[in-house]
Amino acid sequence: MVPERLAWLVADDAPAARLGRRFSDAGHELYLVGGSLRDALLGRPHSDLDFATDARPERIKEIVEGVGPIFTMGEAFGTIGVREGELIHEITTFREEVYRDDSRKPGVTFSDEITTDLSRRDFTVNAIALKLPAAEIVDPFDGLVDMARRELRTPLTPEISFTDDPLRMLRLYRFVATLDFEPDPAAERAVVEMAGRLEIVSSERIRDELSKLLVAPSPARGLRAIVSTGLADYFLPELRDLVEQSDPLHRHKDVWEHTLAVVEKTEPELRIRLAALLHDIGKPATREFVQGGVTFHHHEVVGARMARARLRSLRYPKSLVDEVGQLVFLHLRPHTFKMGWTDSAVRRYVRDAGDLLDDLNQLVRCDVTTGNQRRADAIQRRIDELEERIEVLGEQEELARLRPPIDGNRVMEFLGIPPGPAVGTIMKRLMEHRIEHGPFSEDEALELVAHWGKEQGIDVG
């Protein structure tokens, strides 16, 4: 009997049921599988639907003709996509997926049996199938039992599963962070023994799995596990270094536990959570023992450089690499203004943060994990004051469009000079003048340009 919470999937007019009839009429089997079925059983939202079939990709395309636009990007791996209204269905031929020892990409062999297909899936809670349109549950590996236990167990032995696809070791902890399930002890032992096999997995696949873990509801659980098992050593070795650092500003936590606390406090958005994860990775390289404790001077500078290098190695987009690096670089800036915010300091902060201003303020607030409530309150008040100053100056000076009253073309026209370093130098000085003194007129700008031009031996006439 199909659980009541799946009734919407198997109703006669439901997209899944209609698709099932298409395949049945064509003489093929179709099953709802994977995360879409798991989430439906758990009552979790899941918009798109994943299916498995004995039909080969060419045949799948024939059967779904007329349903909607067809996508073939995954055809080499047996997957055909089709859009039906707002839904995207991914239909994959039953398969076995196995890595060769020296391969960075899985090799795919098609199968004719749903049980074989399910046996090669990552965890038993994802190895359940719903046959359509008959609405029959297929659960050869007791995934429903594990779902009730909230346990993550592999269908075959962990050694076979993680050999088939080593990325499943990282995915284990992504599901821990996402579903709040417990990993099977045998699976965890296998991760510790086989962590090095992650080296054959492409950076792009690791990146995508890490990104999903970071935006999960409980990222700290997953992050803590990938470090303790040794997985992170193969793609984010900087995290292990954080475990051993002592931070005098957060004496109740080591730097690693502080980092996890910051990640958990931020919104579940990739950019801010990457910045939270990496904001202190410069501390191990900048640690100095001084009288009375330890310092990490300029760890934000070193950390920004390290963050950019690591994110590039994981093949994150250049724009995201630059943004996260800038957030790491600036995350200590508000703490340097303990005596209050001058207008020029506010302007410079807004200019440097740019479109990252909201994320930067959030990161600074979440970076406060001290157990000293008086100190925590003082830092939060300082950030409140900063945001108030930004709002007031923003109304007065249009801070979002912070720039001098003239551009480089006007400078060249006024001085009668071609493009070159002199123009860039003058524009930088105009911007500094704008930051230090606030808005000024075009006439004032030209007076400054004339003065600076004479300093460089340019005859303004």
pLDDT tens per residue, range 379-432? 788 788 888 877 777 665 555 567 788 888 888 888 888 888 888 888 888 888
For 260-280, b where at least 16 C-beta lie within 10 A, e where not — what string?
bbbbbebeeeebbbbbbbbbb
pLDDT range class, residue 10, cuts 50, 70, 90: confident
Task: Give 372 or 261, the one with higher predicted confidence.
Answer: 261
Tell me the pLDDT of the chain averaged across its residues: 88
139-194 per-position pLDDT tens digit: 999 999 999 999 999 999 999 999 989 999 999 999 999 999 999 999 999 999 99
Nearest CA among 38, 12, 247 for reference residue 137? 38
Residue 125 has pLDDT above 80, yes or no: yes
pLDDT of residue 173: 98
At residue 240, φ and ψ (nearest 5 deg) are -65, -35
78-120 per-position pLDDT tens digit: 999 999 998 999 999 998 765 555 555 656 789 999 999 999 9
pLDDT of residue 191: 98
CA distance 72 to 158: 32
Task: Give 293 or 324, the one with higher predicted confidence.
Answer: 324
pLDDT of residue 144: 96
Read off the pLDDT of each residue in 199-219 and give the average, rounded to a whole number: 96
Q: Which of 74-83, 87-96, 215-224, 338-347 has the highest mean pLDDT?
A: 215-224
Q: Contact at 8 Å (CB) between 360 and 304?
A: no
pLDDT range class, residue 368, cuts 50, 70, 90: confident
Coil, strand or helix: which one is 224?
helix
Residue 362 has pLDDT above 90, yes or no: yes
> Which residues, listed in sequence order, are joined to residue 71 by a DSSP beta bridge?
81
> Which residues, listed in sequence order, are joined to residue 301 by a DSSP beta bridge?
none
Residue 245 has pLDDT above 80, yes or no: no
CA atoms within 13 Å, Cβ hemisphere of 172: 32
CA distance 294 to 248: 6
pLDDT range class, residue 250, cuts 50, 70, 90: very low
Q: Which DSSP string corresponds to 382-440?
A: HHHHHHHHHHHHHHHH-GGG---SS-HHHHHHHHT--SSHHHHHHHHHHHHHHHHH---
Residue 21 has pLDDT above 90, yes or no: yes
CA distance 323 to 90: 33
Nearest CA among 184, 178, 186, 255 for reference residue 209? 178
pLDDT over 70 percentage in the chain: 91
pLDDT of residue 252: 43
Quick one: tokens of 110?
A: 């098609």
Read off the pLDDT of each residue in 357-383 and give the average, rounded to a whole number: 83
At residue 369, φ and ψ (nearest 5 deg) are -125, 15
Q: Contact at 8 Å (CB) between 242 and 213?
A: no
Residues found in the chain = 461
> Which residues, listed in sequence order, are joined to residue 109 by a DSSP beta bridge?
96
Place of tokens 């979790």: 44
Read off the pLDDT of each residue in 305-319 and give the average, rounded to a whole number: 97
Read off the pLDDT of each residue in 31-36 and give the average, rounded to a whole number: 94
Q: How far is the CA of 68 from the CAs of 53, 60, 84, in angstroms?
A: 19, 13, 5
CA atoms within 13 Å, Cβ hemisphere of 358: 5
pLDDT of residue 307: 97
Place of tokens 């599963």: 161
